[in-house]
Amino acid sequence: MRCPKCRKITGVLFTDSENKYKCPFCSERFVADSSEKESIAELLKQFADDYDKELFLNTARTNAMLMDYIPDNRKERKLILNVMHENAVNELIGLYGKNADETLSEIKKISHRIAEDICITENASEYALMSVAYALGLDVSGRLSVSLTDKMSETKAEPQKTIFTKKMRISGNKIDESCNAVGFRAYAADKNITEITLPETVTAIYPKAFVNCINLKKIYLPSALKNIGNCAFEGCSSLEKIVVPENSAYIVKDGILLDKITKSAVRAENRRDRLKYIIPENTKRLCRKAFDYSNAEIVKLPKSLKVIEPDAFYMSLNLKYIQTDTENRNFSSYEGVLHNRRGNILLKYPSAITDAGYYFEDFVEEAGYRAFSCAVNLKTVTFTGNLRKIGDKAFEYCTGLERFMFPMNLLSIGNYAFYRCESLENIIISRKVTEIGSLAFAGCRNLKNITIGESVKYIGEGAFNDCPSLEITIRNNSYAEMYCKSRNIKYNGSVS
């Protein structure tokens, strides 16, 4: 609702009437007019204008403000927050500089991923993404929906399912047999469950159904099961036994839960006595969080493997070596470090490698998404002149990383690239770098100096958050000066 006096958006009701509002900015009192209702996108845009776009990197603060302004729009508010929790804001920020067609195409891709991950329709996901994108200043105004109802009215009704949720009856280690699906986050963070048997009526397990059930050790899946959603067993660090009937669409082979239909490796059992996993031949896809919190030290990938989804090895803190079949056309391994087949993208550096230093191969042009995440033993990195890109979260939580020198041909540093690298002290950004991502150096608490040259044209929100001792040296870059001034970051003025 927009105040008729100051024209700012408000949602604070009078206590004496549900149809009257009071503006928190100018105290104007007015009666609600349905023709004046604003879309969620307009409200978020007002937030961005009044409080800066960095607001959207803080979901708790965003939620508090949405509660104040639109307390009755529970469905829209929850949808926006769920999308924000899926790293959508940083992905959208990464679209700055792209034209409208490219932006819309990328938003479609992000929307599809989020819809699968959190079990919502793509129309709902797109509605939320478009609203946030508009608030962030991306060119999507021509594709905005006024309300979630308008967007959802475009879709056909889905068949009704009886979905198990936390509110439904549970007896011992069995759920209600009237259910034919285990809902999204149905058992989320339930520490009381150590073993569970799903009834034969269950045909689907929704994404993140058992997320962070850290004490779940054994699960019995039904023969009628047809689909397991993304990251269904994320964070189940104690899951050591998965039992599947012979006639199921799934099978457990060599300690790995496999989807027979899609030929996907869904989840590895986390047994203390199994340190090496050989993914069976004919497997084409390694799913997200497949080795999440695994004790595996060695993983061998088959010739047939075509796709490794992001975060397949997330928090595999004991992993020392990734081996690939020599005939695999999509992936290669150099001394246990996973690359794509050409070798120009480094995909995963096993976190438990004990070497204190790593030297990039000459042919590597990109350090991929979370490539070195949590490699706590790593102290030094030597880049080659061919490296062009450091991807999102590439070196996050490399807490022992003390020094490196960026290569001269580096062009971009991704979002969260060096997040919480707490041993870093001094960094010189090489002269060809044009962009530094959001929260790229956030949490580098011992970082004392970063030198930024004239080539940097974009610095993301929160790039230097929580760096209490930092002073930035700026060389002939008015944009970097303006960035530091607007965020009260200590810096030395331009020098030749």
Check: CB of residue 202 under 8 Å from CB of residue 220.
no
The total of other beta-carbon atoms located within 10 Å of residue 391's CB is: 22
Is residue 355 very low, low, confident or very high in pLDDT (cuts 50, 70, 90)? Answer: very high
Q: What is the pLDDT of residues 144-194, one digit of tens each?
A: 765 555 554 443 334 445 666 654 445 555 666 778 889 888 898 999 999
Tell me which of 40 and 275 has the higher pLDDT.
275
Contact (CB, 8 A) for 371 and 392 = no
Contact 58, 465 (CB under 8 A): no
Note the pLDDT tens digit of each residue in 220-265.
Answer: 999 999 999 989 999 999 999 999 998 899 999 999 999 999 999 9
Structure-token pair, residue 199: 């009834």
Between 145 and 274, residue with greater pLDDT: 274
DSSP string, 135-183: HTT-S-GGG--S-HHHHHTTSPPPPP--EE-TTS-EETTEE-TT-SEEP
pLDDT at residue 380, rounded to an integer:
94
Tally: H helices and E strands in the chain: 8, 34
DSSP E strands, 179-320: 181-182, 195-197, 204-205, 218-220, 227-228, 241-243, 250-253, 256-259, 264-268, 276-278, 285-286, 298-301, 307-308
Bigger pLDDT: 34 vs 410: 410
Domain ranges of the chain: 1-34, 38-152
Mean pLDDT computed over 362-371: 95
Please determine, for residue 59, whether its predicted confidence score (pLDDT) is greater than 90: no
The whole model's pTM is what? 0.76
